[in-house]
Structure 1
Amino acid sequence: MKNINTIIKTAKETILTESNAIANLANLIDVNFEEAVKFILNSNGRVIVTGIGKSANIATKIVATLNSTGTPAIFMHAADAIHGDLGNVQKDDVVICLSKSGNTPEIKVLVPFIKNYGNKIVAITSNVDSYLGKHADFTLNAFVEKEACPNNLAPTTSTTAQLVLGDALAICLLNLRGFTSRDFAKYHPGGALGKRLYLRVSDLIKKNEIPKVEETDSIAKVIVEISEKRLGVTAVLNNNNLTGIITDGDIRRMLSKTTEISKFTAKDIMGKTPKTILENAMAIDALHIMEDNSISQMLVLDKKDNYIGIVHLHDLIKEGIF
């Protein structure tokens, strides 16, 4: 067994080997890349991404990235393609083929069939002089000097290079399509990421109580309202017009100074400049305001500035936004 002290050294060498290879890819981007992007952009079909072995694994990730950024794509395993799955390729589809060597038997069998169907091929290969490199319509150079594997065998640096070129394609297409955060939200409706992009304050407050008292109400009534509505806060109104806010913290601070609460009304202890947010604001904006002001609740207003409820930090936590 080798010295365990070499672990950190090996890890650093692996990262540096791959990062240097990735940095060099920028020098290999040429007109082939530009023409491939433009052809995919103007294509009426989908993008079919194929490969074999570790390249197939990378292909599935490239497909996921393309789909999530506005370019319809499907994965087709190169070995399965020549045993029936070639039917996935339709008339206007563009095929991206991944192969480090560009000379694997499956690729050499697959390429002629794709060409015979009239589909264009984008090659991502470390060997531009390979069979794939020479027969593709657009060849993207994914050259790496060596794998991170000490035996220079296990696909490591080469698959990372393929992945990065796939990302570069996807982002170029995203920019050219004018793909916005709203578009992104359409393809990512689930999970915290999607919710950050589409969830609004009005969606969060639907099930919440609406605590409120009048300026002239007693402190006892204020305490009851805050306790019953269980949001740690109540709005203070004057003839339905919002004038202030009282939190459970305000109650505690008052009681630390006096217990003669009968002498006071809501107006006496309320905060007169409550933080508010409109109901159609994004939930993520509510979170930012709470963070910036170190608060856990905000009063919500409709478009006419009428008080309609409370958004609480717990609502954001429950939705996975915080």
Structure 2
Amino acid sequence: MTAVARTIPLDSLAFARQILFAESDALRVVADRIGENFEQVIDVLANCRGRVAVVGVGKSADVGQKLVGTFNSTGTRAYTLDATKAAHGDLGMVAPEDVVVLFSHSGESEEIVRLLGPLRQFASAIIAVTGNPNGTLAKAADARIVYGPITEACPNQLAPSTSTTVMIALGDAIAFTLSEKRSFSADDFAKFHPAGSLGRKLATAEAFMRHGDELRIAATTDTVRSVFAKVRHTGRRTGAIMLVEADGKLAGLFTDSDLARLFENNDDTAFNGPIAAVMTRTPITIRPTAKVREAVDLMRSRKVSELPVVDGDGRPVGMIDITDLIGQEPPTPASGVRPALRLVKPAAE
């Protein structure tokens, strides 16, 4: 079929805005429609002892797949159940303690309706997300969210558009309400995102810091000469020595820049004096549990290249060197590999 050319030029920007306004208006309408039924859905999911199976057909299946990803990253274990494959053996994925969430705008999709009987036998509960209060799906479900009639933003009112936007938004509302109900924190979120930009933002200093034999630690009473003569370390080189008092608490830091200043000033006598006399006292420190972004902000704002990591008693347990943050991210448990972090190096001391 040959497409008919438009006789009036299309204002693309105005038309695009019209679509966005139509979908945003629909979300506001649906937000006012949900009530006690939404709370019932949350209660069923909160009491689920197994996993949540999410089922949809066509575009609704895509919505379901997105919800599964959101569920899993916010503390609700979930999986996608393909409606067609379920009828040919994949129902074996469903365990007796699982809850099944089914998406269907009409509530009459053949692939969904034929699963209702078998799912009743396999799962602990069935939840419906649908636009049709009188559909087979809504009537068969143990709990339901009925968002009501929706006008599709598609110019022909045929292609799923506003309805799928509503489904995605309701899926987010369900997932985030559940996570809030369970007091799911940013630290919990970080556990499921060890890589990528999210992982980098939420990683702790402990994941990046040098520790053990990689650290250079000496007593404040040692001379500069003796410190450099006897302090040895393995692994990556660091340009800072952490100096401790007799009780093991961090008292100061001596860096390559401090050493360079002694040479520049021709201060040869300082080499035979206690390093405490030329060290940087009470250096900036950070705790192992602090977020890496805090360490980066500190190093950038204070223009330092080394950041000691201390425990609750003020004893050094690690060192973050700027070179560890450039092009690095925390190692994953499986591989221990550190991919790119892409941080900007602050100005040298």
Indicate the TM-score class for this superposition, using the shorter chain for normalisation: 0.7 to 0.9
Aligned-residue offset at 1:133: 2.5
Task: Determine if contact 1:102/1:131 at 8 Å carries over to the other structure.
Answer: yes
Is residue 2:133 matched to residue 1:128? yes
1:139 corresponds in structure 2 to 144
For structure 1, which runs of at least 5 residues remain unmatched after alignment? none
**Equivalences for residues 163-174 of structure 1 within 5 A:** 163-174=168-179
Q: Secondary structure at the match of 2:38?
A: helix
Distance 1:66 1:199 in 2: 24
The Cα of 1:162 is off from its aligned counterpart by 0.8
Aligned match of 2:252: 244
Give the counterpart of 2:161 among 156, 159, 171: 156
Deviations 1:2-49 (A, max 9, x none): 799844334333332222222222112111111121122223333221
Given the superposition, is the C-alpha separation of residues 241 and 126 from structure 1 closer, same or farther in structure 2, using an over 3 Å criterion?
closer
Among 90, 100, 115, the alignment partner of 1:85 is 90
1:20 corresponds to which residue? 25
Q: Answer yes or no: is 1:32 the counterpart of 2:40.
A: no
Contact 2:131 2:150 in 1 (8 A): no
- What is the total number of aligned residue pairs between the two structures? 318
User: After superposition, where does 1:110-129 map in structure 2 within 5 Å?
Assistant: 110-115=115-120, 119-129=124-134
Aligned partners of 2:15 and 2:268: how far apart in 1?
Answer: 73
2:337 aligned residue: none
Q: 1:188 aligns with which of 181, 185, 193?
A: 193
Aligned equivalent of 2:334: none
Q: Contact (CA 8 Å) 2:208, 2:324: kept in 1 or not? A: no
Shift of 1:51: 0.7
Per the alignment, do residues 248 and 50 of structure 1 end up closer, same or farther by CA in structure 2, a change over 3 Å counting?
A: same
CA distance in 1 between partners of 2:101 and 2:244 (Å): 63
Separation in 1, partners of 2:319, 2:98: 51
Residues 212 and 45 from structure 1, CA distance in 2 versus in 1: closer, same or farther, beyond 3 angstroms?
Answer: closer
Check whether the contact 2:53–2:80 (CA below 8 A) recurs between aligned residues: yes
Q: Identity of aligned pairs, percent?
A: 34
Change (3 A) 1:76 1:24: same
Q: Give the Cα separation in 2 of the matches to 1:102 and 1:248.
A: 70
Give the Cα–Cα distance (whole angstroms) in 2 for the partners of residues 89 and 242 of structure 1: 56
For structure 1, which segment, 164-173 or 38-47, has the greater mean C-alpha deviation from structure 2 after superposition? Answer: 38-47
Amino acid at match of 1:87: G
1:103 Cα deviation from its structure 2 partner: 1.9
Q: How does 1:154-303 map to 2 (within 5 A)?
A: 154-194=159-199, 197=202, 199-201=204-206, 204-206=209-211, 208-210=214-216, 216-217=223-224, 230-235=237-242, 242-248=250-256, 260-262=266-268, 270-279=279-288, 281-303=290-312
- Could you list the per-position Cα deviations for residues 249-288 of structure 1 after superposition, in whole angstroms to 9, with x for gaps in the alignment? 5567788xx6534365566654333112344555444334
1:319 aligns to 2:332 (yes or no): no
Contact 2:105 2:163 in 1 (8 A): yes
| Distance in 2, Cα, partners of 1:159 & 1:210 | 58
Equivalent residue, structure 2, for 1:94: 99
Query: Take 2:283 and 2:261, find their aligned partners in 1: how far apart are those partners?
Result: 17
Give the structure with the higher percent helix: 1
Kindly indicate whether the alpha-carbon contact (under 8 Å) linking 2:208 and 2:320 is maintained by their aligned counterparts in 1. Answer: no
1:163 deviates by: 1.3
Deviations 1:271-318 (A, max 9, x none): 333112344555444334334534332123355534455212332341
**Distance (Å, rounded) in 1 between the aligned partners of 2:302 and 2:28:** 42
8 A contact 1:210–1:310 mirrored in 2: no
Provide the secondary structure at the position in 1 that maps to 2:76: coil
Tell me, in whole angstroms, the C-alpha distance in 2 between the residues paired with 1:278 and 1:90: 43
Q: Per the alignment, do residues 44 and 233 of structure 1 end up closer, same or farther by CA in structure 2, a change over 3 Å counting?
A: closer
Q: Does 1:11 align with 2:21?
A: no
**Runs of 5+ in structure 2 lacking a partner?**
331-340, 344-349
Report the aligned-residue RMSD. Answer: 3.9
Residues 202, 177 of structure 1: alpha-carbon distance in 2 compared, 3 angstrom cutoff: closer
Report the AA paired with residue 217 of structure 1.
V
SS in 2 for 1:74: strand
